[in-house]
Structure 1
Amino acid sequence: MAATATATAAQFGGIVKIARRQRILVGKVVHSVRQRVDNTRFSIEVVETGEASTKTYAWLDEGWLSGEITILPTRWDELDAGTQTLLQTEMDAATPEMRRIAYYRQPYAEALADWQEGKADLTKTLHQLFQDIANRRNASCAPQDYERPPKRTQLYDWTARWRKADRDIRALLPNHPGRGNRTARVCGTLADILDELIEAVFLTPIARTKVAMYAAATRNITTLNDEAGRPGAELMTRIPLPTRTMVERRCDKLELYDKAYYRKDPLKAAQEHLPVGLGPVAHRVNERWELDSSPLDILVIDAGTGALLGRPVITAVIDCATRLIIGWRISFEGESTLQIMLTLRHAIAPKLPIAGVKNPNPGRGKPSGIWVDNGKAHRSNAMTEAGRQLGFEVFWLPPKRPRLRGKIERWLRTLGVSLIHNLQGTTKSNPKAREHYDAEKDAVFTLEEITWLISYWINDVYNQREHRATRRSLVGLWRELAEELAPSLLSNVADLDILLTKVEDRKVTRKGIEWNGLLYNSPLLALLRNRPDFDPEQIQIRADENDISHLRVLGPGMPRYQSVPCTNKAYAKGKNLHRHLCAIKHAKVRAAEDRQLTEGDFELAWGELILAGKTLMEGNGRRKTLKRLGRLFALGIDPAAARPPASFRMEGVFDDEDDDGEVDAKPEAILEAPGATKVAALSDPVTTPDPDPAPEPGLGQAPRQAKPRVAPRKQPKPANERTPSEPVPAPATPVSAPLDMEADYD
């Protein structure tokens, strides 16, 4: 029978040393051990109710391993409340000073306990035992750090508490949190009034100060004290006025989340103080795209005049499964519908080779879904219609929550830290980071150069390196996932160009189709009008805002859109819609109210705008005006058409990584342009090498002065003094002043 009980105990749980009346904490309920039943079972009872039950040692093992059961010390009831609290906390939760004191007390408590139990060397006195411990500890210390043995009375108290806790070192921790007078300093009525005032005065969007909170509390309690004792009063007796320190401490004890939620913004409070998870995970290419726009932290100049144009805007698309940057566009358009559509076209279509860039970008294909914010351009009909016909869904994320598209937000920051902030003319991310650096004075890059540099960095640096999240190179992971499920393209590029343009209904006449003051006509429209069943109002057009030289027309019975050119080809060639609208505004200003505008007026108005804009650029006018001119004259440079800066050496520029694993650009490598004149950092793309270069300065020789790239200020040339060789003939009417131009053509 005994052999059977032993085998059962060994199979389902071994015998554990537990004494009678020992406390066991199951969850939050304290149980007391009554007696041992046999080798596999024991009986326990709930201390508060006395309810008895029989448990097995296997139950005890499973509960202890899962953390649900805690075996308390044998003499738990004899310990004070402070020691019980210390025994229920982790040792790591104590402060370093508390742990140091516990480690100091432990050898002395062990020596005294062994001496009391007769296990120590009885030939030595307690004083000698304690002195031996102190000498061993002082052997590796400096004389000024020698410690003395503790006092005999203190040591007896430590040892008694330590033995009652079954020699748990946590019983030797000093009870620092329990020190001091813990009685309430504020009466209950005053505390309730202060809490109500904090909620009504302090925790409000106005974000009143603690001084205002103290004044409100003093005024409110004074009013209550004046009415105390009267019939119907809230107080029967007067209460003391709070001090300013009391009110400030009560405000300081509020949780940081509550302060940020009620005093600032609930979304920012959640972003700063609530935990975040992993978020959605994409497992195949083109499953989830994230798109966002951001101004670049660098100032761009005009290539011809050197005038400061401002900060361009980059719009980029990232594939969440591989972190590959598959589409981008840089221009002065801002976060417009045109910018978004051209970025999507670059992301979906195969990428053409870029001069000076070694590695191609394999990103292409139609996405399953695009995650964007609630910007006006993202909510446009063109975006929705493109998603319907291309087969992807547009997800508009809640406002003020950039963390929901954290991958593209993090990449934009990486672009700034790794590349843009290391180039000359950078504005950094904020004035504090920029300090005293004069970005306007040192700006040397044009829009085409910035486009090429970013394209080079994306294809040859970022997409080639190992990502911290995937532990793979971005291009390698894309190719591996693309083999499992290859991306799909449209039947031809014309379908892509058509789908990423706006759809409008127009009426066809003998003159053709009128769109924004321009006429579009061709023999195709004549054939449509000659059909007996032709309805002139059943014509759909798709207009490309980046190229107004032609429209795509779809009529009844036509299987596909057909291109119809503008009748004024010389004017419309190379212009976008923004340029044309600015010409219309200027033509309306200079035309009589009773005269109808013609295409010739648009052409003449555009010539006046060019002359006025070039005059402003040569004179380095106001920054706001020049930025508008940058959007007016500077087309967005296609990455495939961009060219690197002349004599720009890229070897060894992006081969270092910082502590975060991000690649940093070497400023000294970026600033070098051997064989050409240096402009404080980067050689001028239009500057030719010096035919007779001077030798490098020696130790005692002054360096050569850098030639400024920005053109000096010039006085505006009157219209009647311009030479016939000007690219645009002088207008018959005077050119508008810069202020008029700025007000009318934004």
Structure 2
Amino acid sequence: MSLQLRQGISVQFQGYPYRVLDVQQGRSVTLMDKTNAYIKEMSFDEANHYFSLGKLKVVEDDGYIFRDDNLPPIPSALPAHLRQSMQRRLQYVMGILSQTDKTSCERTVRPIAQSVAKAIGDKKIPSCPTLYRWCRDYQNNDEDIMSLAPRTQNCGRRHGQINPDVLELFYSVLDRCYLTKHRNKKRHVHQKLVDEIYLENKKRPKEEWLSFLSYGGFCKLIKRVLDPFIEMARRYSERYALRYFRTRDRGPAAFYPLERVEIDHTILDVIIVHPITKEILGRPTVTVAIDRRTRMVCAIYIDLAPPSSVAVILCIKQAVTSKAELLQQYDLSADYIWPVEGRIASFWMDNGPEFHSHFHKQLCGDLKIDLQYCPPGMPWYKAVVERFIGILNTRLIHRLPGTTWSNPEMRANYPSEKLACITLEELRQLVYKWVVVDYHNTRHSELGETPLQCWNRLIEDHPIPPLSNSSKLETQFSLSFHRCISNGRISTKGLIYHHPHLIHMQECAPKNTKFMLRIDPEDVRQAYIYDPTSKALMRLDCITHAIDGHMSWRDYQAMRKSQPIHDTGTDNIAVERVMNDKAALNEEIFQLQEHADQIMRKSKGKKSSRSRKKASVEHLAVPINVNATVIDDADADDWEIESDTLRGDGNV
């Protein structure tokens, strides 16, 4: 059995997997190691030798279907003009074989060929030897129709005629100048090859000069001999090439609704303005949760703040709860429904810090939601939500005034800032309407039906289990803190809460005990504290003066950050003067303290001299106990023990 190699097939060489990059019959074979992209070249005779020894094996079941005669495996893969020629030959062969077995007899074959030509409208009747050859090939190949296909596509020179010395220079320049991290352009590398050939010709007599390779031939030769993976790995990096040439699979699949919900966020391509002043506020951030099986949007939360754990919590809250109140708020409850609610089996997300937060993990653990993080650099694990964000931008956001488009090329001269007129609340209303009216009722190409139809069909066989009551959910979707009670109040981040029972909890608990405080991220006035004695959550009253009405956690944090350190009514000169006056005041206080210390040291020096004289007269009459501790706050700095007193007379 001879070695049959084709470009693209997989082989095993000495037990390692390789792929055939190039085969020149009778000349050379180029293999690429699939594990490390290492290139191995050998002659065709060496490949046959390794094949006879069993070191080179062709992988049979590799998903390739091909013929040994270098023709396409099926007739429909042939070009149109070759298919017509094959059908013409088949008409003659079938007409001859159906009437006679003497295909080599001209007197018998000629009338049959003339009748076939008249029937099919062929003006040029093939010769009898040609008809005999067609019939013979058809019968010898078990009546395979492909045996009648013309072989003209295999005619001519397949690889051209290039001097081997030019090829050697070509490979050398390719390795030194093209396959490098500098990523030189082909035109510059071709000029280098021309220079190399010119220098080589200067060493040779004129009759042995090498022919120059044109730029078009140079590009064609690169495309023919160089594997795209190797080109990208050498010019960019192996990691970049592996990522680009990865297997385009659809990723993990889901079989019932809410089995796998993908969540992600991005910045929308539109500019938001203030509702009153019409001042530009920036581009909003959208957090989306979508069901992979039905393509139903579970939740979509839009805010001007950057991605955070608060946005993730609010998005999850919207995903598992009813959307009836949301639809009623935007006058959609009468005609449309958004039925996605209930317990979610698993969340799939990337490795952003907001998805690793304590709040997020604790909430999903309480709701029994499994968390799955996509491997780094593999966005196709959550391809559905990535695709939905792109659809949201192209179908809706790019049609709104003030859009920034996807890139500067698409934006061109579009005046986004001048045309911006949409507020955040108007954008939310437009997005919710688009999701409920358009997206959920548009046929999905992969599902074959609309997402809403798919959801209604699948929940009949797999109902979604409901969650607990609303009062319990209100506390579950709260921000959790652990703080100590001080003076009958508990506070965090500048928010102060009070309840008459807090002072009793403080006194009954051990010192420095931290209690769990839960704050509603949508309204910071709604807060609860857990009483470990009664095993209950107790609602607190917010007594912070800055909180007058309904205020979300993000609005409160933004208000705190916007408060200036100095008085905004003073200019830079006034601020600098205040700072200098403060420094002078501190310096004056320090000088007063230093002056007072000097006076005290002088007065204590006089007092200590008088005390020593008095002690010299009376110390013999009073027995001294050296182990006794004498405390005198007034003269604490001048305590002394006389050496004569410590020595005594030996009878102490």
Q: 1:317 aligns to what?
A: 289
Alignment CA distance shift 1:69-1:544 (3 Å) = closer
Q: 2:22 aligns to what?
A: none
Indicate yes or no: 2:515 matched with 1:515: no
Unaligned runs of 5+ in 2: 1-62, 574-652
Indicate yes or no: 2:337 matched with 1:360: yes
Is the Cα–Cα contact under 8 Å of residues 250 and 380 in structure 2 kept in the other structure? no
Separation in 1, partners of 2:244, 2:413: 31
Q: 2:426 aligns with which of 438, 449, 455?
A: 449
Aligned-pair distance for 1:120?
9.0
Aligned-pair distance for 1:216?
6.3
**Counterpart of 1:524 in structure 2: which amino acid?**
H
Q: 1:93 aligns to what?
A: 77
Q: 2:152 aligns to what?
A: 176
Secondary structure of the structure 2 residue equivalent to 1:342? helix
Indicate yes or no: 2:354 matched with 1:377: yes
1:118-151 deviation per Cα after TM superposition (whole angstroms, max 9, x unaligned): 799959x96x98787666656xxxxxxxx85278
Q: 1:293 aligns to what?
A: 265
1:458-469 equivalence runs, <5 A: 458-464=435-441, 467-469=444-446
Secondary structure of the structure 2 residue equivalent to 1:286? coil
Alignment CA distance shift 1:524-1:208 (3 Å) = farther
Q: 1:149 aligns to what?
A: 124
Separation in 1, partners of 2:512, 2:468: 30
Alignment CA distance shift 1:491-1:201 (3 Å) = same
Q: 1:282 aligns to what?
A: 254
Q: 1:506 aligns with which of 483, 494, 499?
A: 483
Aligned-pair distance for 1:452?
1.8
Alignment CA distance shift 1:148-1:243 (3 Å) = same
1:628-681 deviation per Cα after TM superposition (whole angstroms, max 9, x unaligned): xxxxxxxxxxxxxxxxxxxxxxxxxxxxxxxxxxxxxxxxxxxxxxxxxxxxxx
Is the Cα–Cα contact under 8 Å of residues 158 and 172 in structure 1 kept in the other structure? no
Aligned-pair distance for 1:270?
6.0
**Counterpart of 2:152 in structure 1: which amino acid?**
H
Q: 2:530 aligns to what?
A: 554
Is the Cα–Cα contact under 8 Å of residues 313 and 335 in structure 1 kept in the other structure? yes
Separation in 1, partners of 2:198, 2:359: 64
Q: 1:250 aligns to what?
A: 221
1:318-357 equivalence runs, <5 A: 318-353=290-325, 354-355=327-328, 356-357=331-332
**Counterpart of 1:414 in structure 2: which amino acid?**
I
Is the Cα–Cα contact under 8 Å of residues 299 and 443 in structure 1 kept in the other structure? yes
Q: 2:133 aligns to what?
A: 160
Aligned-pair distance for 1:371?
0.4
Secondary structure of the structure 1 residue equivalent to 2:511? coil
Separation in 2, partners of 1:527, 1:359: 51
Secondary structure of the structure 2 residue equivalent to 1:371? strand
Separation in 2, partners of 1:300, 1:536: 46
1:581-637 deviation per Cα after TM superposition (whole angstroms, max 9, x unaligned): 45444545316xxxxxxxxxxxxxxxx7xxxxxxxxxxxxxxxxxxxxxxxxxxxxx
Aligned-pair distance for 1:370?
0.2
Separation in 1, partners of 2:275, 2:526: 28
TM-score normalized by the length of structure 1 = 0.56
Separation in 2, partners of 1:500, 1:196: 65
1:110-121 equivalence runs, <5 A: 117=102
Question: After alignment, is 512-521 or 395-404 more displaced?
Answer: 512-521
> Which structure ranks higher in relative contact order (CA pairs < 8 Å, sequence separation ≥ 6)?
1
Separation in 2, partners of 1:551, 1:224: 85
Separation in 1, partners of 2:535, 2:239: 50
Separation in 2, partners of 1:119, 1:570: 107
Q: 1:589 aligns with which of 540, 565, 570?
A: 565
Is the Cα–Cα contact under 8 Å of residues 259 and 346 in structure 2 kept in the other structure? yes
1:106-145 equivalence runs, <5 A: 117=102, 122=107
1:699-714 equivalence runs, <5 A: none
Q: 2:274 aligns with which of 281, 299, 302?
A: 302
Is the Cα–Cα contact under 8 Å of residues 271 and 416 in structure 2 kept in the other structure? yes
Secondary structure of the structure 2 residue equivalent to 1:314? strand
Is the Cα–Cα contact under 8 Å of residues 296 and 312 in structure 1 kept in the other structure? yes
Separation in 2, partners of 1:443, 1:92: 55
Indicate yes or no: 2:481 matched with 1:538: no
Secondary structure of the structure 2 residue equivalent to 1:346? helix
Structure showing greater Rg: 2
After superposition, the CA RMSD in angstroms is 4.6
**Counterpart of 2:436 in structure 1: which amino acid?**
N
Alignment CA distance shift 1:182-1:419 (3 Å) = closer
Separation in 1, partners of 2:158, 2:366: 70
Secondary structure of the structure 1 residue equivalent to 2:422? coil
Alignment CA distance shift 1:368-1:224 (3 Å) = farther
Q: 2:363 aligns to what?
A: 386
Secondary structure of the structure 1 residue equivalent to 2:342? coil
Q: 1:411 aligns to what?
A: 388
Separation in 2, partners of 1:574, 1:734: 34
**Counterpart of 2:319 in structure 1: which amino acid?**
A
Is the Cα–Cα contact under 8 Å of residues 86 and 170 in structure 1 kept in the other structure? no
1:567-586 equivalence runs, <5 A: 567-571=543-547, 573-586=549-562
Alignment CA distance shift 1:262-1:396 (3 Å) = farther
Alignment CA distance shift 1:219-1:289 (3 Å) = same
Question: After alignment, is 417-426 or 444-453 more displaced?
Answer: 417-426
Is the Cα–Cα contact under 8 Å of residues 259 and 344 in structure 2 kept in the other structure? yes
Secondary structure of the structure 2 residue equivalent to 1:530? helix
Is the Cα–Cα contact under 8 Å of residues 488 and 503 in structure 2 kept in the other structure? no
**Counterpart of 1:294 in structure 2: which amino acid?**
T
1:544-591 deviation per Cα after TM superposition (whole angstroms, max 9, x unaligned): 454444543335435244343432244364444444445444545316
Aligned-pair distance for 1:538?
2.3
Is the Cα–Cα contact under 8 Å of residues 548 and 573 in structure 1 kept in the other structure? no
Separation in 2, partners of 1:334, 1:542: 23
Separation in 1, partners of 2:212, 2:535: 83
Aligned-pair distance for 1:359?
2.4
Separation in 2, partners of 1:241, 1:535: 93
Alignment CA distance shift 1:571-1:183 (3 Å) = closer
Alignment CA distance shift 1:558-1:239 (3 Å) = farther
Separation in 1, partners of 2:411, 2:267: 16
Aligned-pair distance for 1:344?
0.5
